[in-house]
Amino acid sequence: MPAQQQFSVPFELSNKDHLHLGCLVDGQSESARSGQTFDIVDPGSGRTWASYPDCDESDVNAAVESAHRAFLNFSKWTPRKRAQCLLRWHTLIVDAREDLARILVHETGKPLKEALGEVDYATTFTWWFVGEAERAHGTTIQSAIAGRRSLTVKQPIGVVAALIPWNFPIALALRKASAAMAAGCTMVMKPSPETPISTISLARLAIQAGFPPGALNVLTTSLKNTPAVAEGLCLHPLVKKVTFTGSTRVGKIIASLCSRSLKKTTLELGGNCPFIVFEDADTEMALDQLAALKWRHAGQACVSANRVYVHRSILEEFVQGLIRTTSLLRVGHGMEDQTTLGPVTTLAGLDKAEELVKDAVGKGAKMLLGTGRRLAGPSDAAGSLESPAGGFFMAPTILTGVTDTMRMSQEEIFAPVLGISVFDTEEEVTARANETSMGLASYVFTKDVNRLWRMFENLEAGMIGLNTGNSSAAEAPFGGIKESGCGKESGKDVAIDEFLITKTGTLTLTES
């Protein structure tokens, strides 16, 4: 059933087509079979501003079959034709940058400047995979047996299901989709309940760019129907690969569902990233990098600094510097010019952040800035911070005296709460940093190049920032180890390989 437009959009768009009601299946805008919808809430105001089709398990098959039909054709396109189409998609997304960023602000709460930054980051993936499309090659193999020749070819794996998180919905949708489509796969995307609109916009632009109908389908769902739709996708026999970004808890469920048919998975899961500042670090640099990393999207990035270890000899200076820079942040709605810290995207996130702070303070941590509680009204802010009512806001909160047994050292915080722990030696901090089941990213600050090299080798994480708080880039492999997941997104060869199979051919010559 075609979907109807029904919005009261609280912001201006340069092109109204960039915001569309309805999921996308076979190039058509569709409602859920049940006719049900769910609401999209602006985390900056707490107000509902749109409703989207609430797909359930009965909607999965049509989307997968359409993607399969499209695959039969699309997988035969030459790599150059795929690259050219990806480039047109890239250009359309760049042209829609401002509108997409405004949509992002109202889905995720992040400040407009960060939302524009996300779109710019996202289009580094479309750009990168335009190049990768033509460079996925097989090999020839010198056989050990006389008269025998061997070779490998790479072929697209088939229909991919992509389960996309709400924290960077445009960047992570494009990191997954541009790699898959460069490889010749088609995709069914399931965005998070908080952020379906930006995903639909991207998919409609893909069809406009010339990808065949069905090459990129989108099913939107409420939180209630998310498990059923995700399960339907993971178990569908025509889905050959599942790529998921989200929590480790859900990642394990996805892995177990996919294991029933030995489906290939890429799992980008939770982090508990240590940020280590040694006594010989450039502290100004470490402070700037920590601020950019930690307050990015109000602490809601999987690679965010979760545990901050500062050497005892520079603790006082470091903490004072942190308070000074953090006090300059302005909390507010993402569309307001002065806002530098937006709301937390979900109420559940706010609840958890409050619990973690309560646990830490109960175990002896000291609160130096903020309140560790949601902002309820104009009088509730710490210091000079404003406290906008209505949205899911928390002032940036800084704690010292954080120990490894506190919940905030053991769980992903995903909120504007920063805890500082003290350490004395390299051996001690390395052991404490590695004392977690997670292994996504770690960060080290020191001027000693030998120590940087040692830490790079000894820290158990998939990505190590050496005097930087930002390792994410289209050209570098992104992904964790341990319970932070498996597989790589972005980077040369490895990311596109996630969507390819390698087929070996062996030829016996009749004459040699």
Query: Which one of 72-80, 141-149, 298-306, 381-389 is the stretch in contact with ligand SSN (CB under 6 A)?
Result: 298-306
Sheet harboring 239-245: ordered strands across? 28-30, 23-25, 216-218, 186-191, 159-164, 239-245, 264-268, 485-486
CB of 502 to ligand SSN, least distance (A): 27
Q: Does 303 contact ligand SSN by CB under 6 A?
A: yes
Burial of 209 from C-beta contacts in 10 A (0-12 / 13-18 / 19+): buried
Two structure tokens written together for 213: 């109908």
Query: Which one of 246-254, 301-309, 431-439, 491-499 is the stretch in contact with ligand SSN (CB under 6 A)?
Result: 301-309
Cβ neighbours around 324 below 10 Å, total: 10
Q: Does 418 contact ligand SSN by CB under 6 A?
A: no
User: To which H or E segment does residue 352 belong?
Assistant: helix 347-362
Decide: helix, strand or coil at residue 124.
helix
Backbone dihedral region for residue 262 (phi beyond 0: left; psi -120 to 50: alpha; all else: beta): left
CB of 495 to ligand SSN, least distance (A): 12
CB of 167 to ligand SSN, least distance (A): 5
Among 112, 301, 305, 496, binds ligand SSN (CB under 6 A): 301
Q: State which residue has the least CB distance to ligand SSN.
A: 472
Q: Does 168 contact ligand SSN by CB under 6 A?
A: yes
Cβ neighbours around 15 below 10 Å, total: 11
Q: Does 254 contact ligand SSN by CB under 6 A?
A: no
CB of 510 to ligand SSN, least distance (A): 53
CB of 95 to ligand SSN, least distance (A): 23
State the Cα–Cα distance between residues 322 and 325, nearest whole angstrom: 5
Residues 6+ apart with CB under 8 A from 332: 44, 338, 339, 341, 342, 386, 388
Two structure tokens written together for 429: 């901090």
Nearer to ligand SSN, 430 or 472 (CB): 472
Query: Which one of 100-108, 143-151, 299-307, 414-422 is the stretch in contact with ligand SSN (CB under 6 A)?
Result: 299-307
State the Cα–Cα distance between residues 221 and 303, nearest whole angstrom: 26
Burial letters 460-490, b for 16+ CB under 10 A, else e? bbbbbbbbebebbebeebbbbebbbbbbbbb
Among 93, 122, 207, 302, binds ligand SSN (CB under 6 A): 302
Q: How many residues bind ligand SSN (CB under 6 A)?
A: 7
CB of 265 to ligand SSN, least distance (A): 17
Q: Does 339 contact ligand SSN by CB under 6 A?
A: no
Query: Which one of 49-57, 72-80, 297-305, 355-363 is the stretch in contact with ligand SSN (CB under 6 A)?
Result: 297-305
Burial letters 111-148, b for 16+ CB under 10 A, else e? bbebbbbbbebbbbbbbbbbebbeebeeeeeeeeeeee
Nearer to ligand SSN, 167 or 387 (CB): 167
Tell me the catalytic residues. Answer: 268, 302
Mask: binding to ligand SSN, 6-45, rule CB under 6 A, as x and -?
----------------------------------------
> φ and ψ at 498, to 5 degrees?
-60, -20
Nearer to ligand SSN, 122 or 276 (CB): 122
State the Cα–Cα distance between residues 87 and 458, nearest whole angstrom: 40
Nearest to 423 by CA among 322, 284, 307: 307
Q: Does 413 contact ligand SSN by CB under 6 A?
A: no
CB of 176 to ligand SSN, least distance (A): 11
CB of 301 to ligand SSN, least distance (A): 4
Nearer to ligand SSN, 308 or 463 (CB): 463
Nearest to 54 by CA among 77, 88, 25, 31: 31
Among 29, 45, 124, 167, binds ligand SSN (CB under 6 A): 167
Nearest to 420 by CA among 503, 310, 281, 261: 310
Query: Which one of 49-57, 108-116, 136-144, 295-303 is the stretch in contact with ligand SSN (CB under 6 A)?
Result: 295-303
Q: Does 472 contact ligand SSN by CB under 6 A?
A: yes
CB of 494 to ligand SSN, least distance (A): 15
Cβ neighbours around 446 below 10 Å, total: 22
State the Cα–Cα distance between residues 446 and 452, nearest whole angstrom: 7
Nearer to ligand SSN, 168 or 309 (CB): 168
Residue numbers at the binding site for ligand SSN (CB under 6 A): 167-168, 171, 301-303, 472
